[in-house]
């Protein structure tokens, strides 16, 4: 099969980091420059994966344990990859995905206490070679991110209760885990400080993607992964 010419960008990060806003802004910018862009998300992004999203996010699978949930995330991811992402990359589209494999590493692996070997085995099957060219990790301290998310949900809510404080520790652990992934895979991952203004963040992301697109244009043979 011919190699792909698209670009696969995933967005990762905790609550209230502003992923959706930044994905929308980047998509608008890239479309304005004449690129074909597909915005998608996980869990979900294909009809099969959206059905699994409902099962996962409603909490219906929670009682069956974290392993079950991890396998369902992987099943959804594989459907999404095969039905949507790989075909789009083959057509030369820029794919912007709200969460991808790193979320499983962090949520099911680190804070779900599943063994890294188990998570990595699932990932190999799920992504089948379709690994993001670039991952933007929108980094925000858990306290700030949760506060933003809480304001968005309920403008007049009081400060965090005991449960929310416990949650904060979990969110901080996830933040550390995303930073750890970035440190171990610096060519793919970029940590973006999400405490700044929307415009500043969008500017940095634009620079990162422009540089990445220029690199792809210089080395079209460098990304054969999704071309199977």
> Residue numbers of the site for ligand TMP (CB under 6 A)?
42-43, 73, 99, 103-104, 107-108
Write down the least CB distance from residue 75 to ligand TMP, Å.
Answer: 11
Shortest-Cβ-distance residue relative to ligand TMP: 107
Query: How many CB atoms are closer than 10 A to CB 159?
Result: 8
Nearer to ligand TMP, 171 or 190 (CB): 171
Write down the least CB distance from residue 140 to ligand TMP, Å.
Answer: 14
Nearer to ligand TMP, 5 or 170 (CB): 170
Nearer to ligand TMP, 6 or 18 (CB): 18
Nearer to ligand TMP, 35 or 188 (CB): 188
Nearer to ligand TMP, 43 or 132 (CB): 43
Write down the least CB distance from residue 77 to ligand TMP, Å.
Answer: 7
Residue 45's φ and ψ, nearest 5 degrees, are 95, -15
Write down the least CB distance from residue 113 to ligand TMP, Å.
Answer: 13
Write down the least CB distance from residue 53 to ligand TMP, Å.
Answer: 8
């Amino acid at each position: 099969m011919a190699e792909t010419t698209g670009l696969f960008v995933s967005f990762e990060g905790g609550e209230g980091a502003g992923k959706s806003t930044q994905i929308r802004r980047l998509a608008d910018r890239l479309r304005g420059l004449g690129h074909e862009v597909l915005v998608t998300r996980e869990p979900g992004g294909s009809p099969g994966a959206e059905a699994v999203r409902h099962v996962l996010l409603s909490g219906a699978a929670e009682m069956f344990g974290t392993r079950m949930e991890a396998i369902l995330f992987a099943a959804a991811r594989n459907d999404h990859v095969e039905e949507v992402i790989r075909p789009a990359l083959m057509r030369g589209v820029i794919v912007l995905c709200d969460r991808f494999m790193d979320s499983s590493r962090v949520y099911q692996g680190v804070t779900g206490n599943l063994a890294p070997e188990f998570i990595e085995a699932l990932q190999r099957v799920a992504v089948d070679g379709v690994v993001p060219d670039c991952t933007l990790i929108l980094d925000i301290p858990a306290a700030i991110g949760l506060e933003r998310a809480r304001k968005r949900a309920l403008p007049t809510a009081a400060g965090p209760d005991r449960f929310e404080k416990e949650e904060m520790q979990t969110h901080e652990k996830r933040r550390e885990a995303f930073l750890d992934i970035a440190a171990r895979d610096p060519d793919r991952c970029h940590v973006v400080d999400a405490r700044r203004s929307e415009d500043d963040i969008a500017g940095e992301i634009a620079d990162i993607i422009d540089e990445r697109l220029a690199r792809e244009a210089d080395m079209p043979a460098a990304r054969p992964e999704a071309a199977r």
